[in-house]
Structure formats: structure tokens, C-alpha cells
Amino acid sequence: MINVFGKFKLLFMVLLIVVFTAACSYDQPASTASSESNSGGQAVKAIDKKRSEIKIGFSIKNQNAPYFVAMVKEAENVAKKEGFQIITADAQGDMTKQISDVNDMLTQGIDLLLLDPADPEGLVPATKSATQAGVPVVIVDSTISSKADYVTTVQSNNTENGKLVGEWVASQFGKKEVKAVILSGEKGNPAGLERRQGVIQGLIEAQLRNNGTTNLEFVAQGWGNWAQEGGQKAMEDILVAHPDLNLLITENDSMALGAKTAIAQAGKEDQIMIAAAADGQKEALELIKNGEYAVTGLNDPALIVRTGIEASLAILEEGKSYPKTTYTPAVAITKDNVDKYYNPDSEF
């Protein structure tokens, strides 16, 4: 148990995070939003080709999980529907292979490169190669270094999703004391940082707004490496040290699903609320429908790819420019709205 001074110190640190995050926040419309201007990005110029002649290369960092499989399948479906050509390549998590994949696509005469970078710094040269070949680049899902050449990055809004999740959690607890644990993916990951900061900010701000005070204690942070088995193992260890916690916050659904197994084995399903900052994985949504999982943020791989392709076609056919970051809508998915997002036939 954390002593009074320790609890005060921890709360002070959390409030500092909230202040810092709030200082970096911005207003967004309901559909998509941008965080940066396009200054310094690639020049955009329309090409004189029929839709059927357009060739887009999609280099994805991995195909080792349903999330990435869903991205490629959606890209292929959209290409068939919209009548353009698409070339896909799986880097298998290997940065060097992805660079080679991009170079192969350039030799095949692609008109635009859709890139999910395996490494934010390591793929910078690949974007430079595309620029030299006159090929614009659209980044999807992952983040790349600002040193890269690209028109826009299309991704879910980790911070805003987290804030909505945190606000919803606060509404459920009311004035009840919150003893929370956070399960994070991997140390130093920027998406994980944005997600947990978003939840913390949303939860504390909602408590202050609704109650005039905060009643939140973080008793532990675990690391699950984004995986179901990692989430289960981390949660098993945490439950031994902190059997009285009542809120689990995770940075994705996979770790939450693993943690849920540990919670069930400990007989604490009625005690601990499960809240994920992101994904909208169908297994999690099914549990939300059944009331066994509280809330998750929307991070739809198919939506991200569709949005990226829409931007790609507008760039190629209209010469349209984009902000440096384009976000898909932020949503907290709960039992009240889960039917809108649940698809049992989804790849993810």
C-alpha cells in the first residue's frame, strides 16, 4: 500500500501529465482532424491517368496479427471496388526487408506509396527514394519521423480516444474511490504513451468537472508487450500485490483480453472494471455487448486503410493537399453504441 506522501506525490505527477497533455491538445471536428500543417511535406501534383491505370503500392510492416491482415484485405477490397491496381508486400517485421519491398515497388512503377513503417527512423530513406522517383507517400497506422518525406499520416487519434474512454469511466465511478492499474504495451512506444495519457487526462478532468475533486490512485503499471498472453501474465502478478484494485486500464484490447482471464481466475470479475484505450477488436466488442467488458476506443484498421486510400486517390487525381496528420474519428465504444461497430465477420 502506498503511504499518504507517496499517494500525494503520485497524484501530483499525474496532474503534471494532465497539464502537459492539455497544453498540447487541440479542438477537432467530429469526423477527421489534423494536428499539423503540410509545410515541409511532399509537393502534390495530379497525374494524367485513368483510374484503371493508377497503381498504388502498399508496404505493410507485418502480417502477424489480425489487425494487419484486416488492413491488407481492406486495401485489396477497395482497390477492386474503386478500379485501381494495388501491389502489397509484407515486411514481416523486418525494416531492411521493408526498404527492399519499397524499392521493388518503385521499379514496378507505382504512382503512390502507402506505407505502414516498421521503424519510424529506419524507413525515412525509403520515403526519400519515393520522392526522388516522383512518388508521393501516405503513411497509415504507424508514426514516422518528421524527417521523412510524406503527404500525410492517417491514423486513429490515440489521445482523443483515451480521453473519451477516461471520461466515460469517470461517469461510471462517480464519487467512488478508484484504485487503478495500467497495462502498457512496450516502453518508449509513442502510441502507448498517447493512449494512457489520454485516459488519465479524461478521467481526472471528468472527476474534477463532475465532483470538484479527484479520487484516483494508480497502484501499479504492468507491461504486456501488446499481447494477450503478456496481459494475462502481467495481471496475474499485479493481482497478487494489489488484490483490492477496481479498475484496469490497458493500451489495447489484446492485453485486456489476457488480463480478463487472470481476473476471472482470481474470481474478481465483479470487482474490476476493464477499460481499453484502443482498438475495437471484435472479441472485445462481443464481451462489451454481453456486459463483461466496459469500454474501448475505436482503432479500426479497415477504416484507417479506407481513409488512407481515399486520400491517396484525391492526391493522385486532384492534386489535393493534406495536413501532416489526418485522424479517423475518436469514439468510446460501450454497451450503448457497440452494435454500430461490432462485426462478427471482421478480420479484426
Taking phi first (over 0 means left), then psi (-120 to 50 degrees means alpha), and beta for anything else, what does residue 78 get?
A: alpha
Interval 63-117: pLDDT, tens: 878 889 999 999 999 999 999 999 999 999 899 999 999 999 999 999 999 999 9
Mean pLDDT estimate for the chain: 89
Q: Check whether 240 has a pLDDT greater than 80.
A: yes
pTM of this structure: 0.81
pLDDT for residue 63: 87
Q: Check whether 205 has a pLDDT greater than 90.
A: yes
Interval 255-314: pLDDT, tens: 999 999 999 999 999 999 999 999 999 999 999 999 999 999 999 999 999 999 999 999
CA distance linking residue 88 with residue 86, whole number of Å: 6
CA distance linking residue 304 with residue 153, whole number of Å: 10
Q: Check whether 11 has a pLDDT greater than 60.
A: no
Dihedral, CA atoms, 145, 148, 151, 157, nearest 10 degrees?
-10
Q: Check whether 164 has a pLDDT greater than 50.
A: yes
pLDDT for residue 43: 59
Beta bridge pairs of residue 138: 114, 152
Give the residue-averaged pLDDT of 122-127. 96
- Report angle CA 15, 21, 25 to the nearest 5 degrees: 140
pLDDT for residue 7: 41
pLDDT for residue 5: 35
Helix (H, G, I), strand (E, B) or coil at 28: coil
- What the chain holds in terms of domains, given with CATH numbers, is 51-150 (3.40.50.2300), 158-300+336-340 (3.40.50.2300)
Interval 22-66: pLDDT, tens: 333 333 333 344 444 344 456 578 999 999 999 999 999 998 788
pLDDT for residue 105: 98
CA distance linking residue 81 with residue 110, whole number of Å: 19
Pick the more confident residue, 189 or 139.
Answer: 139
